[in-house]
Amino acid sequence: MKARRTARDGRVRTFWDDMPLMWSFFLYTAGCVLTSIVVSIALMVGIMSAYGTLQRSVWEGRVDVEGGPYVYDAESDELVPAVAIELASAGEPPDRIAFLGMRDQADGGLLVGNSSGGVINADTGAPVGYATLEMVRTDPSLSVYDWGGNYTAADYEESDGSPYDLVSIDGSNLAAYDARERAGRMQVTGPVARLGEGDDAFVVSNIGYFVSQDSMAYETPLMIALRVAAGLTPFAVLGITAYLFFRRFYRKRLAGPLDVICGCADRVGRQDLDFVTPEVPGREFTRLGDAFEKMRASLEASQRELWRTVEDRRRLNAAFAHDLRTPITVLKGTVEMARLREEHGEPVDGQAIGTIAEQVERLESYTIAMSGIAKLDDRPVVRARMSASDFSRETVRSMQDYVGAKRPELVLAIDAAGMSQVETVSVDRSLVEEVLGNLLGNACEHARSRIAVALSCDEEGRLLCVRVTDDGPGFTPEALHRGCEPFYGEAKSAKHFGLGLNIVQTLARLHGGDVSLANDPAGGACVTVTFQMGTGQDATPTA
């Protein structure tokens, strides 16, 4: 069970690491939004709960005033709770309103809700009741306004069609305002008007009022702060959560991979290519890391090739300088002997002159050989595409002509069956023939009776392989290790400087291949040379 859980966790981790940046950013954003919503709701509930507690304590002992309508009772100098009745009887304007006040509610009594008691405001916890004129005059949070209605045509004309003016009425001047407006408004007639005649329970008026209670006047600075905090909480929480989430997103999905890539780039800048680009999470950065690793590997290969070229050139110069010492020493000795003979009055014999001439010729040959090797590195490789059968046929004929001219008594066995795996080849034919000439030249010098040549291609058609084997004495252990070094040879002479295999190696590497030396199990030397064949894009077709 634990192993399965571990494997499942590993798959989940791999899936998360390989997720594209777009989807991971979406998930981080969704998590940020959901977290912000949950935290904001929790904090706002807590803040508003504290606000509600403070609000209930502030409203304790207060009454939540019912807005109205009210009518003014001049007899008791009091506001009386009323109801508004629209009058639509025949012959009366349809906008006439009668306000019917009930004197038994004029003492500011509480509203009766149900059998359990009075009506309670759920927010403030205060009982709901009617306002009195005394409350309006003494409580600054209460204001009285005209309900409106029952305007005459003159009212509309004087006010340009808008007679209603929402202006607070001073409680101490309410009696004068009510008397003036009652006289100026349309009068209430009919059955409703008769309810107030001689009946102490009702007051009928054509003017109504409503009372507005400013609950904000009861708020303390702490309550205001809590209300502001509740309004700002979603924005603050979203900002903090966004910072935390996107900071983590940057560190996990951007900063880490970027640090890896930048670190690798710094190492490349310091010429340190001996490393492998680490794996980085994220599909996009994985592709970037793969591309960077390919670039690093290519630079490393180029640097190694450059180092190898410089090292080969260094060894070549060292070998050249070493081999120059012999002819120079002979020349110096011959010249000294000639001077001594001249001092003793003896003539310089022809043997000394011949020695000098021989060593000068040898130096000249060395110089020409050195110049030829130096030019090999700059030789361009021009691949040409041709059919494998034509290449095999022409190469076989060239090898037969070469061996026949150099040592006709040798048996030359050529196996070109390996060329049947491809239809076309793309090589620098002149370079290949030059390599074969050097190989066959060495084989003709050492073979006793037989030379075998095998031509083949790999299955992908990328490499051409040439193997030359002779039945001579083969390579010594030292020759197997140093055979391709410049100026190395076990039997060097004035005409043979030990450059043949070095030239073969240089040309093969120019063509993207290499050289390997071995001894054939049946006896004799075996030299294998490979050439990298080009594609159709870098090859010039030939007829």
Phi, psi of 26 (to 5 degrees): -60, -45
Same domain, 85 and 168: yes
Residue type for position 195: L
For residues 70 and 187, state if they share a domain: yes
Residues 6+ apart with CB under 8 A from 46: none
Could you tell me the CATH number of the domain that includes residue 315?
Answer: 1.10.287
pTM over 0.95: no
Domain ranges, residue 342? 282-378
Q: Residue 419 maps to which CATH number?
A: 3.30.565.10
Token pair listed for 162: 């808008």
DSSP letter (8 states) at residue 252: I
Contact (Cβ atoms closer than 8 angstroms) between residue 381 and residue 428: yes
CA dihedral 264, 268, 272, 275 (to 10 degrees): 40
Query: What HEC string does 397-457 produce?
Result: HHHHHHHHHHCCCCEEEEEEEEHHHCCEEEECHHHHHHHHHHHHHHHHHHCCCEEEEEEEE
Residue 149's region, left for phi above 0, alpha for psi from -120 to 50, else beta, is: left
What is the distance between the alpha carbons of residues 466 and 515, in angstroms, rounded to a whole number? 10
Which pair of structure tokens corresponds to residue 46? Answer: 């807590």
Q: What is the pLDDT of residue 161?
A: 85
Written as one letter, the residue type at 107 is: D
Tokens encoding 8: 């499942």
Do 140 and 197 sit in the same domain of this protein?
yes
Q: Give 120's DSSP letter.
A: B
* CA pair distance 429, 36, nearest whole angstrom: 73
Same-domain status, 40 and 163:
no
Same domain? 125 vs 259: no
* Domain final residue pick, 337, 353, 378: 378
Question: Of 140, 108, 144, 142, whose CA–CA distance to 127 is shortest?
Answer: 108
Q: Do residues 331 and 256 share a domain?
A: no
Number of domains in the chain: 4
pLDDT of residue 237: 94
Q: Are residues 321 and 398 in the same domain?
A: no
- 143 and 90 belong to one structural domain: yes
Q: 471 with 448: CB under 8 angstroms?
A: yes
User: Roughly what angle, to the nearest 10 degrees, separates helices 429-446 and 388-406?
Assistant: 40
Residue 270, domain member (yes or no): no
Which residue among 333, 355, 378 closes a domain? 378
Same domain (yes/no): 409, 437: yes
Question: What number of other Cβ atoms are within 10 A of residue 333's Cβ?
Answer: 13
Residue 493 near residue 487 (C-beta atoms within 8 A): no
> Which H or E run includes 12?
helix 2-17
Instruction: Give the domain-ending residue among 180, 198, 217.
Output: 217
- DSSP assignment of 174-205, as one string? HHHHHHHHHHHSPPP-SHHHHHTSS-TTEEEE
Whether residue 75 is found in the same domain as residue 203: yes
One-letter amino acid identity for 190?
A: G
For residue 82, the model assigns a pLDDT of: 92
Q: List the one residue out of 169, 191, 223, 204 whose CA is nearest residue 59.
A: 223
387 closest CA partner among 413, 422, 337: 422
Residue type, 398: S
Tokens 């030059």 belong to which residue?
Answer: 434
Q: 393 with 488, same domain? A: yes
Lookup result for tokens 């370079």: 431
Residue 160 falls inside a structural domain: yes
Start-end of H helices in 270-349? 283-343
E strand or H helix at 454: strand 450-457
Three-state SS string over 338-356 comes to HHHHHHCCCCCCHHHHHHH
The strand pairing partners of 426, in sequence order, are 385
Tens digits of pLDDT across the chain (543 residues): 555 566 565 677 777 777 788 888 888 999 999 999 999 999 999 999 999 899 889 888 888 999 989 999 988 889 999 999 887 655 555 568 899 988 876 655 555 444 345 688 888 888 888 988 988 998 888 999 999 888 888 888 888 888 888 889 998 899 999 999 999 888 887 777 777 666 677 899 999 999 999 988 888 899 999 999 999 999 999 999 999 999 988 888 888 888 888 988 898 888 888 888 888 777 788 888 888 889 988 888 888 877 777 776 666 566 556 556 666 776 677 777 777 776 776 776 666 667 777 666 666 655 655 555 555 666 788 888 999 888 888 888 888 888 888 888 989 999 988 888 888 999 988 888 888 888 888 888 889 999 999 999 987 778 999 999 999 898 888 888 887 776 666 655 444 556 678 778 888 888 889 999 999 888 889 999 999 987 544 444 443
Q: Are residues 308 and 429 in the same domain?
A: no
